[in-house]
Structures are given as structure tokens and as C-alpha cells.
């Protein structure tokens, strides 16, 4: 018989912290769109990045090695994040309920999985495929 033990991987606390912070992010963004236009929320939200950016810039061991593909991919990630965030704020400002917009936009991993299958030639197990389908069903149920 196989014994299953619960071990916390080194990434688990960070993933849980991201979950918590993004949960507050969804609440704060909807609250902000009650009072400000989407573009204003977007621009003011960027100010929230500055303390973290300053911390990273001034922390020891910062390294920005030059690799054209790495830089292009990182810049593409930033550009995609920026456009997605602007559309997200616009959806909330246009009257979208946070209880619907947040779960719907949280389906972005489905897009990432499909793109990873096509461009990175990554595999997908049956279990993972079922999980993606269940995630989409869950968002559909939340949006009804």
C-alpha cells in the first residue's frame, strides 16, 4: 500500500500568497471602478507596482542578462498583461459584476494551456484535460 504524505513544495506559499493578493485585487478594482473611469483605475493601479519595482531594483543580486528571446518574451508578457488589465478594468467599469468578470477572466490558464500545446509542444494528460473542462463549467455556473 502506498502512503501519501503532504509535503509543502517551496513554491506553495508563494502560490497561496498570489491567490490571496489577487483576491483582494479583484475586490479593489471593482471598488475603484465605482468611482473612477477604467483608464484612471488602470493608470493609478500602475503606481502600485512602483514600490515592488523599487524593491526589486535595489535588492542584492539583481541580474538582467541579455538574451533576445528572453527579453522579447518578457516584454510580450508585460504587453499582454497590460492589455488584458485594461480590458478587465473596462469590463468592470462597463457594469460587469466582479462575481462574473473575475472568474471569467481567471480562465486565462485555458488559453495558456492551448498555446503551450501548440507552440511549446507540451503534453496534456486526461486528468488535466478534465480539470480544464471542469474549470470552464465552474465559470459558466458562476456567470449564470
Per residue in 60-85, pLDDT (tens digit) is: 988 889 999 999 999 999 999 999 99
Q: What average pLDDT does the chain have?
A: 89
Q: Is residue 63 part of a domain?
A: no
Query: Same structural domain for residues 29 and 73?
Result: yes
Domain of residue 131: give its range: 107-144
Q: Is residue 87 part of a domain?
A: yes
Nearest of 52, 51, 56, 112 to residue 80 by alpha carbon: 112
Query: Same structural domain for residues 24 and 90?
Result: yes
Nearest of 82, 77, 94, 87 to residue 33 by alpha carbon: 94
pTM of the complete model beyond 0.75: yes
Query: Same structural domain for residues 120 and 91?
Result: no
Check if the beta carbon of residue 44 is closer than 8 Å to that of residue 36.
Answer: yes
Query: Same structural domain for residues 47 and 27?
Result: yes
Coil, strand or helix at 94: coil
Helix (H) / strand (E) element for 55: namely: helix 49-58
Query: Same structural domain for residues 51 and 115?
Result: no
Residue 124 has pLDDT above 80, yes or no: yes
Query: Same structural domain for residues 53 and 83?
Result: yes
- Kindly list the distances between the CA atom of residue 55 and the CA atoms of 16, 35, 51, 66, in Å, as whole numbers in the listed order: 21, 30, 6, 21
Residue 57: predicted pLDDT: 92
Total domains in the fold of the chain: 2
Residue 1: predicted pLDDT: 52
Residues 6+ away with beta carbon under 8 Å from 89: 29, 33, 38, 39, 41, 42, 45
Amino acid at each position: 500500500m502506498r502512503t501519501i504524505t503532504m509535503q509543502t513544495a517551496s513554491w506553495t506559499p508563494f502560490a497561496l500568497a498570489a491567490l490571496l493578493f489577487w483576491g483582494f485585487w479583484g475586490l479593489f478594482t471593482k471598488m475603484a471602478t465605482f468611482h473612477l473611469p477604467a483608464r484612471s483605475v488602470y493608470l493609478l493601479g500602475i503606481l502600485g507596482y512602483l514600490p515592488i519595482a523599487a524593491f526589486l531594483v535595489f535588492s542584492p543580486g539583481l541580474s538582467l542578462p541579455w538574451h533576445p528571446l528572453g527579453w522579447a518574451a518578457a516584454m510580450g508578457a508585460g504587453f499582454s498583461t497590460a492589455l488584458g488589465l485594461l480590458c478587465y478594468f473596462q469590463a468592470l467599469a462597463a457594469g460587469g459584476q466582479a462575481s462574473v468578470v473575475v472568474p471569467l477572466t481567471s480562465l486565462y490558464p485555458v488559453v495558456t494551456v492551448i498555446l503551450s500545446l501548440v507552440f511549446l509542444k507540451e503534453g496534456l494528460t486526461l486528468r488535466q484535460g478534465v480539470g480544464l473542462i471542469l474549470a470552464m463549467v465552474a465559470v459558466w455556473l458562476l456567470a449564470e
